[in-house]
């Protein structure tokens, strides 16, 4: 019913949705990247054990539950999530994208036509379904973890990772976007600052927190992988 009504309300142009998450598996190594036996023998004769090629002491990180990225708008949940999914060879899903697919219209239109409570209701049900789907990387909308029921579901069925950043950094990253209804006002920096005050104590309940500033994506990824490994080690010790 939601999809039908929304469809009526919107112009065709705004019904086109491009946010649903996609996931590409890493390409297999090319032949040129694999050393043949003769080359390996030469390396051995040079007393250089080719450990990095044939064996590795590192235990690969294996998630047994979904990893749920939380944090304010502009924290990088989708960008970081996509890259983590590639590294961990897991599917990536964006909860806002899934809500849009389910509703048949964009998040801002759901807010406009039905209001925020209807969006939260849809978001809650979508995230519950994603949590039931086995290991994956889930990027959630900024308000998802603030909803008590969604938060409980994430705590029960997933591992949560908060990407923490200053409101000023978030403002710089989101200021050109028009897709976030909560920031479509005269003072989005003030909105982000207020949301940070209200929400940061709640995001702090996440299993893992990493700080992200103006650093690049690669640095954030490294921090996230490191934090995930530490979390997995801690859990194994319990």
d(CA 31, CA 29): 7
Interacting span for ligand S3P (CB under 6 A) from 60-68, 126-134, 160-168, 176-184: 176-184
- Decide: is 141 part of the binding site for ligand S3P (CB under 6 A): yes
Interacting span for ligand S3P (CB under 6 A) from 7-15, 30-38, 39-47, 179-187: 179-187
- Decide: is 167 part of the binding site for ligand S3P (CB under 6 A): no
Handedness of CA 197, 221, 155, 116 (dihedral sign): positive
144 within 8 A of 127, measured Cβ to Cβ:
yes
Report the residue from 66, 96, 106, 126 that binds ligand S3P according to the rule CB under 6 A: 96
Report the residue from 6, 67, 68, 73 that binds ligand S3P according to the rule CB under 6 A: 73
Report the residue from 15, 104, 181, 193 that binds ligand S3P according to the rule CB under 6 A: 181
Burial of 213 (0-12, 13-18, 19+ CB in 10 A): exposed
Would you say how long the chain is, in residues?
238
51 within 8 A of 134, measured Cβ to Cβ:
no
Interacting span for ligand S3P (CB under 6 A) from 48-56, 139-147, 156-164, 227-235: 139-147
State in angstroms the smallest separation of the CB of 176 from ligand S3P: 13
* CB-nearer residue toward ligand S3P: 17 or 43: 17
Report the residue from 76, 143, 158, 167 that binds ligand S3P according to the rule CB under 6 A: 143
The SS3 of residue 67 is strand
d(CA 19, CA 93): 10
* CB-nearer residue toward ligand S3P: 77 or 151: 77
28 within 8 A of 119, measured Cβ to Cβ:
no
State in angstroms the smallest separation of the CB of 123 from ligand S3P: 7
State in angstroms the smallest separation of the CB of 96 from ligand S3P: 5
d(CA 58, CA 29): 19
State in angstroms the smallest separation of the CB of 73 from ligand S3P: 4
d(CA 196, CA 121): 22
Looking only at the bridges linking them, the beta strands covering 67-70 and 92-94 are unpaired
To which residue do tokens 């990493």 refer?
Answer: 210
d(CA 228, CA 209): 10
- Find the binding residues for ligand S3P in span 199-228 (CB under 6 A): none
Report the residue from 84, 93, 107, 208 that binds ligand S3P according to the rule CB under 6 A: 107
Read off the DSSP letter of residue 30. Answer: P
Interacting span for ligand S3P (CB under 6 A) from 4-12, 84-92, 137-145, 203-211: 137-145
Contacts with ligand S3P, residue ranges (CB under 6 A): 73, 77, 96, 107, 141-143, 180-182
């Amino acid at each position: 019913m939601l999809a039908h009504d929304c469809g009526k309300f919107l112009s065709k142009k705004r019904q086109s949705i491009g946010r649903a998450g996609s996931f590409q598996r890493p390409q297999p190594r090319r032949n040129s990247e694999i050393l043949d036996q003769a080359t390996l023998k030469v390396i051995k004769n040079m007393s250089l054990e080719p450990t990095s090629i044939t064996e590795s002491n590192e235990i690969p990180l294996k998630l047994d539950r979904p990893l749920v990225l939380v944090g304010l708008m502009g924290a990088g949940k989708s960008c970081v999530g996509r890259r983590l999914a590639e590294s961990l060879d897991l599917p990536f899903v964006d909860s806002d994208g899934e809500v849009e697919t389910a509703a048949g219209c964009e998040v801002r239109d759901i807010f406009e036509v039905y209001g925020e409570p209807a969006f939260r209701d849809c978001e809650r049900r979508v995230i519950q379904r994603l949590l039931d789907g086995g290991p994956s990387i889930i990027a959630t909308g900024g308000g998802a973890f603030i909803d008590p029921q969604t938060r409980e579901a994430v705590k029960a069925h997933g591992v949560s990772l908060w990407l923490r950043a200053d409101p000023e950094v978030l403002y710089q990253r989101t200021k050109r976007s028009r897709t976030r209804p909560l920031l479509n006002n005269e003072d989005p920096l003030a909105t982000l600052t207020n949301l940070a005050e209200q929400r940061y104590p709640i995001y702090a309940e996440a299993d893992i927190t990493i700080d992200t500033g103006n650093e690049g994506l690669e640095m954030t990824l490294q921090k996230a992988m490191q934090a995930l490994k530490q979390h997995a080690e801690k859990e194994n010790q319990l």
